[in-house]
Each structure stands twice: as structure tokens, then as C-alpha cells.
Structure 1
Amino acid sequence: MHIVGRKKEILRLDRFVESKRSDFVVVYGRRRVGKTYLIREYFDNTFDFQVTGICNGSKEMQLANFGLALQKYFGESRVPRTWLDAFSLLQAGLEKKNTGEKLVVFLDEMPWMDSQKSDFLRAFEVFWNGYAAWDNNILLIVCGSATTWLTDNILNNVGGLYNRATGRIFLEPFTLGETEEFLKDKGIVWSRYDIIQLYMVMGGIPFYLSHLQKELSLAQNIDELFFKPHGKLWNEFNNLYATLFKNADAHVKVVEALSQKNKGLTKKEISEATKLPENGTLTKILDNLSNSGFIRPYNYYGNKKKQMTYQLADYYTLFYFRFLKDQNGKDENYWQNTLDNPAKRAWCGYSFEQVCKDHIDKIKDKLGIAGVLTERSSWSSKGEPGAQIDLVIERRDRIIDLCEMKFSQSEFAIDKEYDLILRNKAETFRTETKTKKALHLVFITTYGLKRNMYSGIAQAEVKGDDLF
């Protein structure tokens, strides 16, 4: 078993294997995040039955594929005509194989098996409820990138599969620390500054990280993967959303609108920007994108109406809209030749903020409040244009951390003008929110603060190293 990171997931799989009952485990998460790899590596690619659904395959094609798997594992020569027939043959094969040891069944890309009018789900329901759940030796693992299908049809099922899943593993992208571990495993030794920049481009997505070449610099790798015609990730965006969502165009409209607004948009604002009706369909699209990790819902501090604001949270999608969309004619060495320009600086600032928000636990560790109950939000002044705080951490110990996040190539220096801006911002926050709690200004920067006569305004600082 060769798995980098994923310690919590491995412990959970250990418990399922050791369980004295049958388990039905749902593994889900963003496309390319390593779901199939995790399961195949953990079980050393050895299953009692395994089959992978076919993208856009017809009912007949899916059943024929299932039949081939039945032949491989059980020597079954019959090709199932219906899904009820298919799961009946699977049950018969498992019963013959059952010696009291745990039987592992892995249905990969399960959502793809449920083609139109196939009755797949009903047949699967009969298999689990009528046989597998009562055998006590079955470990059934279902997996898929179509998080929406798994959420609607399995996890939130209100029919025969209601509350049937005994375990769920939502596989998240690697953290910065896990990304560093993954790179070292590939023989890539980069500075943490470079790893943070890499994360800002593609996040902790193992599939993307696997294409990095150790003999190239970070900038060379980015050009090689994204900017050179037919690079390995050159056309990734066109495949990403189309394989996940049925109404992919509408989902893309939403993330494109969010890519243009760093502070995020409300549902109403998204409707106005995309021309999509503000109805249940839009709500479903937002839920789909949120459940899949592409967008992040959050509240503004003091928002009594609890009106949700949505921010783009997927690094690759942001990178695509800022630099890759309509890139025809761009230099194939674009990233190396534009080491510093306004567009890049603006992107760096926003993307670094997302890195910080994805590592709140590390920030809390550094601040010494790991065990303190907190709520995070953002804040924007109603009366002072431009006065906003992108990360507010409200603590149970009656302290509010106002976090300034700055991506910098060296120590960040606070000058007289910026010192005044910070003081006014904190005072405006106190006045408008009417809070009686203590306000602490926290700086989160790549290399920390440069010591000068103004740096004392920060009660605490978090450096890039602390995020690992």
C-alpha cells in the first residue's frame, strides 16, 4: 500500500474492514481528488468483486460491462438483461465465495451506471436491503465524482435506501502539508513559498500534482501543463464540469460569475450576473457546487438575515478564468515571462486568501486557540467603501481576530499610510457591529512582518510555514 497522507481515511477503512457487520460505505469528492486511487491502493487492487461505470454509457453497455466483471470474478457466462438480474447474479457469486471472511465489493463511478430509465437504483436497493445488509461479511464501497447523484440518491435518499449507508468518506484535496509530503515522495524538493504558489494554482489535487516534473522549476511546470498547446492539463476545464453535472453550462456560468468577484455574491447577485432565474434550480446548482467543493458558502459578520454569500473556492477554476480562458495567442512560456504584473498580483492576493481559509485549523494552532470554539465570517463596511475584512474569527473567549492576509515575496512592511487604514478599519468594525469584545489584528503573510515602528499594531502573526 503506497498512500501519501489520508491518515484519517485509512483509519476509517481499517475500522470497516475489522467490523463484525456488513457496511455500506460511500466515498465521494471532487473529480481528480484520488478516490479510486485510495480504495485500490488500500486493498492492493484485490477485491471480491469490482466494476467501474462507463461515462455516458447506455443501459445495455453498462449491463454488458457488469457482465464482464461477473465473468472475471465468478466465471459467470450469462450477460444480465436487467439490473435486477445483474445484482441477483452478483449475490449468487458472493454466496458461493463466502467462507466467513470479509467480502469486499467495489462499485466505482456508480452514478454512471444509473443511465436513463435503467431501474438501476431499485435493483441496487433490493441487493442491499434483501441480502448484503444481513450477511455480516460484506463491505460494499461505492464511489463517484458525481457528488450530486450520490448525495441525492444515496446519502439523502428518502425511499428504500433511507439511512442505509453506514459510512461516508468525503475525500478532500491535500492540505499544504500533505502536498509537501506528496512532492517529496515524487523527489520534488521546493521551498514552501513555491509550494504555496503551486497550491494557489491547482490546490491539493493529487491528479494535477502527479504531472509535475522534478527537473523543471515551478514556473516551467505551470507553462508545461497549462500554457503549452496540448499540455497535460491544457483542456482540463472542458472535461471537469461536463463529467460532473448534467446541466454543466449553468454550473459553469455560476463559477465564472464568482471568479470575477473576490468578495463573493449572494444568490440574487448570482442570478443577476448569470441571467439564471432565482429559483429552486439555482439553489440546486449552488448546492451541487458547494457539495463538490467548488464554491464556499459563508455569512458576513453581523448579518442577521443570514443571507448566504458564495465564493469561488476551487483553485484550478479560478486560475482558468483568470489566465487560461481565451488564451489563444498567449506565449507558451507565459508564466515564466510574466513573473510580476497587475493581473498576477491581483490573483495572488485572492488565491492566497483562499489558502488561508482552507487552513483555518493551522491558523488556530498558531494563535493558540485550537480548542476554542470559533465562528468565521467576512465583514464589509456599510458606510466606508472599500473597508472590508476577508477573514473574521470570532472566539468563544470574547476576542475577535481581524485577519489581514497578504501574499508577499519578502517580509511584509506596514507603513504609516497602511497603519492608518488598519486603525480606521478596526474602529469602523467596532462602530458598525457595536461589539464589546476585544479586537485583535492578526497578520497572515508568507514571510511574516518586517519589524518597524508600525508592526506593533498586529497582536499576532501567522507565517506561511505555519500553514503546513
Structure 2
Amino acid sequence: MLIGRVHEHELLEQKYHSGKSEFVALYGRRRVGKTYLIRAVFKHRFTFQLTGLSEANLKTQLENFNYAVQEQHPLLKLNPLSSWMEAFQTLKKIIEKSRQKKKVIFMDELPWLDTQNSGFIQALEHFWNSWASARKDILLVVCGSAASWMIHKLINNKGGLHNRITLRIRVEPFTLKECASFMKYKKIQLDHYQLIKLYMVLGGIPFYWDEVQRGMSAAQNINRLCFMSEGLLSNEFSNLFKSLFNRAERHEAIVEALAKKSAGLSREELILHTGIANGGNFTRLLHELEESGFIRKYTPFGKKNRDSLFQLCDFYSLFYMKFMQHTKRTFERDWMKMIDNPAHRAWSGYAFEQLCLMHSNDIKKALGISGVETSEFSWRSTLDTTG
């Protein structure tokens, strides 16, 4: 069952039923449900699917391609592949033999296919520009969690794929309402307060919510997921940024600096706190974190654009930095012991504010003021210098 994603579903169906070939790119945070969305929408309508292999060389990736062809099109005669140009020639044969009205080609974890000196991007460009785009029956859907690659090598490509993407979808985390629907679907009963407490730790990441257990309170689930040695999220942070970004320690440094200042930091303050040099590369790091939903840029009330601040808005990253990073995870009761202290109260206020900002349109609708033009701002006391 597909929870939420109504708008994304409609967009994908429009591209499926269009009268021309379409090139669709999905990107977003790790575990946000990109692959699940595509498979739930297209189900049995795929002509070919391929998933890239993590940290595999060109030879292994091409072998994996042939295995996928063999499994999905067993009657097609195959030869060992030596390049991606040859692989895309095979893909052409698959498309030409297909009787489907629209040939849906799904390439998941696309950045992993682009190994060093593999020629993958050039082969993809040639396949699309010289052949696929001239047809009217191809829907090429590509997906990847590696934000750096997806943003700079595909979506903002300056070479042969420039402006070739006909639809880009940034898959966002679930809203609070969608998380509630997910829990109802799983027959897990949680009141609004418990849902909010979980959201303030898990954010709207479906993969995390799928691990919530029936019969346990929000605090018990948080303790099990985050503070038990076998908990899903106990080591998630170290893998999260490495899977998304190149030289991820720079992105982590920015997130760590922002976690210490709830109201946010200016660009100049971030440079000072992280030690990262000012310039185009720093701008790129901030852009990647924004596009991946980890930070947001906003202008404080009464200030001008030049006074904009960057603020950490990823719930799990904030929780990790506040409570998990330096906590020895040995006792099952750890989180219960941390609940009633000043650090917990400060975090709760910040996380709840972020939750409200994220759902401001829903709040306005519930208050009956959705038709009124408003602006929302983070609270920033002029007396508060500690964050």
C-alpha cells in the first residue's frame, strides 16, 4: 500500500501517459522511500529494472546488468559486456522487442553505476540524446540517494544531459498526518502526543517508522531504536552522510555546528565554526544540505536577505547530536533517564518548533486562516547568546 505521495503519484502517471519519451529523476534523503514509490506506482509495468551496486567496479556493474537482463528477459541472447555503450545497446534491443505501450526503464542507485573512468554518463547521454528522446514510448526513471551526484552530475548537468530531465522529484519525508496513516495501516495505536514525540526524533522517514513496534510507548521505541546496541538508528548517522555526499565530513561539520545553535548561524558564523574555506565549494556544501532536507535557509523577522541564517531541520540529526553522539549506550533505561532534564526540555522546544514550521500550512488550515497571507519565523531571543 502506498501511503501519501498523492502528488508524486499523479506526476508519474502523467509522464507514463504522455505522448512522448520522458526522463524522470528522483532524489532525496536516504531511507525516504524513493524506490518504494516507483515500485508501488508502476508495479508490473516495468520493461527493465537495474539497481547499481555499492562500491563495485565497472566489471562487476556490467555483470550485474547482464544478470538483470537474463532474469527479466531470459530469451535475449547475451554476450559479456566490456563497456556501458554495449550495455545500452542491449537495452535498446530490450525496448525494441517490448510490446508494451510505454517502456518503463527504472535505474535505481544510479550514482553507484558511475564508477571512476567507467564512461557511464557518456553512454547514458548517448542513449538518451541520439535514440531514446527521438521515440515516443520510453519512460526512463532514475533514482539515487547520493545527493552530490544526483544534483551536480544529473539534475544540474552542464554537458550532454543539460535540460534533458523532463521531471525532477525531490521525495520529501512523510508529514505528521502521513506518519499517523502509516501507523494506522500497521495497526499501531498512538495518540497525538506519542506521534509528535516520535516525529521529533524520527522525522518523517518511512524506513524509521516501519521499525516502530506495537505495544510500546514513544519513549520505549526511541530507547530501543536509538540507545540499544542493536537499534536501527544507533549507527545510522555515520552511514547517512557517507551515502549521500562526497567527503561527507565537511557536511557533518556544518550539521554539528548548527546543532549547537537552535536559532541558526549565518554563513560567516558557519565558516568560523567549521573552519571550511569560504568560496564556491562552501556554497555547494550548503546547497547540497538544503536539497537533501538537512538544513534550511531563512531570514529572521525584521531582517534583510543578507542577514539570512542557516538552521538544522533534520530531526534525527538534531537528536543524534544532542543525545546520541556522546552517550554510552549500555543501559536500556538510558533515554528514560534523560527525559526530565534541561537538555531534553531545550531540545523538545526546538524540535517542536521545527515540526510546527514544517506543518505551518496544515496549522493555518486547521485554524481557518489558510486564506490569510502570513509569514513564519523561528523564535530568536535577543537575550539568548547560547542557542
What is the TM-score with the length of structure 2 in the denominator?
0.94
> How do residues 12-411 of structure 1 correspond to structure 2 at under 5 angstroms?
12-44=11-43, 46-74=45-73, 75-97=76-98, 99=99, 101-328=101-328, 330-378=330-378, 380=380, 384-386=382-384
> What is the aligned partner in structure 2 of residue 455 from structure 1?
none
185 and 125 in structure 1: CA distance in 2 versus 1, 3 angstrom threshold: same
Mapped partners of 2:157, 2:79: distance in 1 = 31
280 and 345 in structure 1: CA distance in 2 versus 1, 3 angstrom threshold: same
Secondary structure, counterpart of 2:81 in structure 1: coil
Report the AA paired with residue 92 of structure 1.
K
- In the alignment, is the contact (CA less than 8 A) between 2:49 and 2:106 conserved in 1? yes
How much does 1:45 deviate?
Answer: 5.3
Secondary structure, counterpart of 2:244 in structure 1: coil
126 and 329 in structure 1: CA distance in 2 versus 1, 3 angstrom threshold: closer
Mapped partners of 1:357, 1:55: distance in 2 = 36
Which structure shows the higher helix fraction? 2
Mapped partners of 2:67, 2:110: distance in 1 = 16
Mapped partners of 1:352, 1:368: distance in 2 = 21
How much does 1:176 deviate?
Answer: 0.6
> What is the aligned partner in structure 2 of residue 3 from structure 1?
2
Mapped partners of 1:10, 1:373: distance in 2 = 29
How much does 1:380 deviate?
Answer: 4.9
Report the AA paired with residue 293 of structure 1.
G
Q: Deviations over 1:11-30 (max 9, x none)?
A: 11221222121111111111
Mapped partners of 2:311, 2:95: distance in 1 = 46
380 and 220 in structure 1: CA distance in 2 versus 1, 3 angstrom threshold: closer
Q: Deviations over 1:375-402 (max 9, x none)?
A: 4444757xx5249xx9xxxxxxxxxxxx
Structure 2 stretches lacking a partner, 5+ long: none
How much does 1:79 deviate?
Answer: 2.5
Identity of aligned residues (%): 45
Mapped partners of 2:168, 2:151: distance in 1 = 11
Report the AA paired with residue 135 of structure 1.
R
Which structure shows the higher strand fraction? 1
Mapped partners of 1:379, 1:176: distance in 2 = 22
Mapped partners of 1:257, 1:181: distance in 2 = 34
What is the TM-score with the length of structure 1 in the denominator?
0.79
Q: Give the root-mean-square deviation of aligned CA atoms.
A: 2.0
Mapped partners of 1:12, 1:366: distance in 2 = 27
Structure 1 stretches lacking a partner, 5+ long: 391-468
Report the AA paired with residue 262 of structure 2.
N
Report the AA paired with residue 273 of structure 2.
A
Higher-Rg structure is: 1
Mapped partners of 1:166, 1:352: distance in 2 = 37
- In the alignment, is the contact (CA less than 8 A) between 1:102 and 1:137 conserved in 2? yes
Report the AA paired with residue 287 of structure 1.
H
For CA contacts below 8 A with separation 6 or more, give which structure has more relative contact order: 2
Report the AA paired with residue 185 of structure 1.
Y
215 and 313 in structure 1: CA distance in 2 versus 1, 3 angstrom threshold: same
How much does 1:101 deviate?
Answer: 0.9
Mapped partners of 2:345, 2:206: distance in 1 = 26
How much does 1:127 deviate?
Answer: 0.7
How much does 1:366 deviate?
Answer: 3.4
Mapped partners of 1:304, 1:253: distance in 2 = 26
Report the AA paired with residue 266 of structure 2.
T
